[in-house]
Amino acid sequence: MLDVIFLGQAALACWLAFAGSQQAVSSTTLQGVIRDQTGAVLPGATVELDTDAGAVVASTQTDAKGEFRFNGVAPGGYQIHARFEGFRPSTSSLRVVARRAPPFQAIVLDLAAVSQDVTVHEGDPVIAATAAANRDAVTIDDQALRNLPVFDRDVVGTLSRFLDDSALGTGGVTLVVDGMEAQSVGVSPSAIQQIKVNSDPYAAEFSRPGRGRIEVITKAGSDAYHGSFNFTFRDDSLNARDPFAVTKPPDQRRIYEGVLGGPVGDGKTTSFLVTAERREQDLQAIIYAAGPDGLVTGNVATPTRTTQMSASLNHQQGAHNTLSVRFTSEVSNDKNQGVGGTTLAEAASDVHGDEEQVVVGARTILTDHLLSEFRILAGREISSTASLNPALRIVVLDAFTAGGAQADQSTSEYHIQSTEKLTYIRGKQLFTGGFEIPDFSRRGYDDQTNAAGTYTFATLADYEAGRPQSFVQQRGNGNLVFLQKVFGAFVQDQIMVSNRFSVTPGLRYDWQNIFTDNDNFAPRLSAAWALNPKTAIRGGAGVFYDRAGDSSIHEVLRSRANLQQRYIILDPSYPDPLTGPAAAATPPSIVTLAPGIRTPYTVQYGVGVERQLHKTATLAINYLGSNGIDLFRSRDVNAPLPPLYLARPNPNVGQIREIESNGRQTTRSLQVVARGRFVKWIQGTAQYTLASAWNDTAGINAFPANNYDLASEWGRADFDRRHQFEGLLQLKGNDWTTFGVAVSLKSGRPYSLLTGTDDFNTGQTNARPAGVARNTLDGPGYADVDLRWSREFALAKPAKPGDAPTVTIGVDAFNLLNQVNYVAFIGNLSSPFFGEAVAAQPPRRIQLSGEFRF
């Protein structure tokens, strides 16, 4: 058995799977799981239990989940032998103690070419000198998910609190499900085996840094029938009142979820897993606006219905091939969307979505040295948005929005995704390489947004006087069909220089059509040095390229083809905007890419120290920095010229929105992460971050206040928070005192001081007072404590440990202390709400849940 300093890529996840499992019980059942060095389970592996004297006690094979079990194991010393064709055998020792459950055995087998094996036991000191063993990662397994407060069973949202906004791309969080990028998990929460944030932060395999992505591993079937049914319920009678609601609105949410898995035939080679989920929300949006007659308040029903289903098959074909196929479907209907705050009920819209996809995977041991993992996805996605009111839209800046939503559009997407990852092991090197096609799709859009147009008024007084600031309207053919293509490839080599030191160089290449930039090579490098079995120093640096978002691509292509044109009329007539000289003299606006536009990228780097505090807890302290280079922004290059800002340079064109890549960003942070079992009855993850983030662009759709003064855009980033603490903890005393706690404490984000008027005659409303930079105002802090209590009841005496049917009841309190966390602060000097908030995060809400498992 190898010194625990050297671990394969999955050893950390294995250790977390069994940490905290040792309890004082009378059972003498020995359980474990067999995995390969990539973290994949190995069904059909042979596991033999011998005494220290060499006598064979029992032999078995792992099930479809890679798990094995020996019942009736007497106290004493034992040897566990694990074998699987194409992999090196492993032998490990353990001692079974009376009245205490043997530790869960997580055994990692390497390909046959590897001269060393890894076996990790409960309580072993695990500070490893490998790239994927970083101790500032956050990993939650399915058992923890059942014990923690997870609002509306949104496990991805719960883990998102540990992400770093500076690591996110234009498209937001990168979600990776079973090794492939995805828009959603695709299965119900009970079918999630594990969820990770910041695993191997500089890995060349991924397009985004570790704190910009969430990795999800889903469950497979098993050789015995197992399943669960969950019901989650919320009702306004158990909730506190929203601070902006005059009366507490009637709210109710119901979530039904079921999972069933088991063998197909004798279950030795084939298993299935079926999931279903139904979400029914009858919620209310809170309106808080200012009209000509004073304050406008009210509640608007926003019901939603979502149905999600999935079915998967896993088949072990011989000793070298594992095949899988999964079908998923999701249909949603959302009513009265887009209202709340200063947006009135009449400006609502209905949204419908329909998505299906099939994923096929093959995992093949090609040789004793080489492992292949291939996946391909084919799917379609249809969505539509319909405004409830066809009237033109009326916007009185930061006072009220009325009229129609002007949001009508429909989209269709038929896409293929694919990944291939090869793992090659030779001596002390672990080489990985492959490619991915995150998106190859035919996309269709029928854009009728703003077809009737939008009036914008600077103040309530202007509205009452009938003096609009501008009128904006889209005219022409909104139909667009195009191909979107995204490609990535990578190579990486983890080199074990010694048992205490490893270095992992890597190189990635990314490419996207339309926003074409052909030299996006992204080098990555990380290193780890184990000073001793309890202390390690690790660091790394890497380049991470971004991708352009869909909305900007649509606008560029429509403008190129002259399909749909946008008109910006300043000082229009009212109530008919198309009469008068201003309308007749207004030329169309266009959207274009800047000459020589480049793909934005981030250079991230960091160094830190990790220390094992005791057997089951570690502390990681890291300094992280990142520089955003060539970041996206939009600019009106035909804006009226200074100093008077009266006339556009080219009178034959209106606004020329040029998408540029000349923005920049700088972030620095110090992060402290503690995780594991801190004391006997507390385990989990706690993270504190001291950070600073500055930039001069808020993204691809953001315009500067003054298109000829980009220097004044440099300021605090929209996501900048100086202090942030996040904690997910499990507290367990006896069966009646099992609690999950989530704590989130954050300092405030900035916002900008605005005049609320079109000072530069561009039709934009983001002008700031002279000499005032971006994001100079401070928003309030945020504090939230969530608590879950749960109790599990066994319905029968189990034939095997863990096999008894059980019922679990739970009560969750979100925002337990009912802290008022204000959002949407108004920095517009012309608004009646200047310096105030017009919305708040939800008040205390109580969630009831029940689960039946067998």
Domain positions in the chain are: 11-126, 226-853
Provide the whole-model pTM. 0.85
Give the amino acid at 572: P
542 — phi, psi (to 5°)? -165, 160
pLDDT at 620 over 80: yes
Q: How far apart are CA 760 and CA 640, in angstroms?
A: 7
Q: How far apart are CA 616 and CA 12, in angstroms?
A: 12
Give the amino acid at 537: I
Q: Which run of H or of E encompasses 145?
A: helix 142-147
> In a 10 Å sphere around its CB, with 0-12 CB exposed, 13-18 middle and 19+ buried, how is residue 505 labelled?
middle
pLDDT band at 336 (very low <50, low <70, confident <90, very high): very high
The β-bridge relationship of strands 588-593 and 656-679 is: parallel
pLDDT at 805 over 50: yes
Give the amino acid at 66: G
- Mean pLDDT of the 744-770 span: 95
Q: Give the range with max mean pLDDT: 21-30, 73-82, 94-103, 713-722.
A: 713-722
- What is residue 461's three-state secondary structure? helix
Give the amino acid at 488: G
Q: What is the largest CA-CA distance in the chain?
A: 100
What share of the chain has pLDDT > 90, as a percent? 64
User: How would CATH label the architecture of 11-126?
Assistant: Sandwich (2.60)
Beta bridge partners of 695: 665, 715
Q: How far apart are CA 59 and CA 61, in angstroms?
A: 7
> Does residue 223 come out as left (phi exceeding 0), alpha (psi in the -120 to 50 range) or beta?
alpha
Unique residue bearing structure tokens 């359980």: 31
Q: How far apart are CA 721 and CA 290, in angstroms?
A: 30
Q: For residue 659, which of 640, 639, 637 has the smallest C-alpha distance?
A: 637
Higher pLDDT, 733 or 381: 381
* pLDDT at residue 100, rounded to an integer: 65
Return the minimum-mean-pLDDT range out of 127-141, 327-341, 357-371, 840-854: 127-141
Q: How far apart are CA 698 and CA 710, in angstroms?
A: 13
pLDDT at 694 over 80: yes
Return the minimum-mean-pLDDT range out of 313-317, 753-757, 787-791: 313-317
* pLDDT at residue 221, rounded to an integer: 77
- Mean pLDDT of the 216-244 span: 90
The β-bridge relationship of strands 682-695 and 723-732 is: antiparallel
Peptide bond into 243 cis (omega under 30): no
pLDDT digits (tens, 9 = 90+) for 58-78: 888 787 667 888 888 888 888
Q: How far apart are CA 229 and CA 851, in angstroms?
A: 6
pLDDT at 118 over 60: no
* pLDDT at residue 146, rounded to an integer: 87
- What is the number of alpha carbons within 13 Å of residue 162 lying toward its C-beta? 30
- Mean pLDDT of the 186-203 span: 89
* pLDDT at residue 69, rounded to an integer: 84
- Mean pLDDT of the 580-600 span: 89
- How far is C-alpha 57 from the chain's CA centre? 46
pLDDT digits (tens, 9 = 90+) for 385-411: 999 999 999 999 999 999 999 999 999
**How many C-beta neighbours within 10 Å does residue 835 have?**
12
Q: For residue 436, which of 482, 485, 483 has the smallest C-alpha distance?
A: 485
- Averaged pLDDT score across all residues of the chain: 88
Q: For residue 628, which of 588, 679, 665 has the smallest C-alpha distance?
A: 665
Are 11-126 and 226-853 equal in CATH topology?
A: no
Residue 358 and residue 379 in contact, taking contact as beta carbons nearer than 8 Å: yes
pLDDT at 139 over 80: yes
Superfamily of domain 226-853: TonB-dependent receptor, beta-barrel domain (2.40.170.20)
- What is residue 485's three-state secondary structure? strand
Could you report how far apart the first and last alpha carbons of the chain are, in Å? 36
- Mean pLDDT of the 366-387 span: 94
pLDDT band at 120 (very low <50, low <70, confident <90, very high): very low
pLDDT at 817 over 60: yes
pLDDT at 414 over 80: yes
* pLDDT at residue 26, rounded to an integer: 41
- What is residue 837's three-state secondary structure? strand
What share of the chain has pLDDT > 70, as a percent? 91
pLDDT at 185 over 80: yes
Give the amino acid at 448: Q
- What is residue 733's three-state secondary structure? coil
pLDDT digits (tens, 9 = 90+) for 16-53: 232 333 333 344 788 888 876 555 667 778 898 888 77
Q: For residue 481, which of 445, 441, 439, 515 has the smallest C-alpha distance?
A: 445
Beta bridge partners of 851: 230, 808
* pLDDT at residue 95, rounded to an integer: 77
Question: In the 3-class helix/strand/coil scheme, how is 647-674 assigned residue by residue?
Answer: CCCCCCCCCEEEEEEEEEEEEEEEEEEE
- What is residue 236's three-state secondary structure? helix
Q: How far apart are CA 345 and CA 287, in angstroms?
A: 8
* pLDDT at residue 14, rounded to an integer: 32
Q: How far apart are CA 336 and CA 350, in angstroms?
A: 6
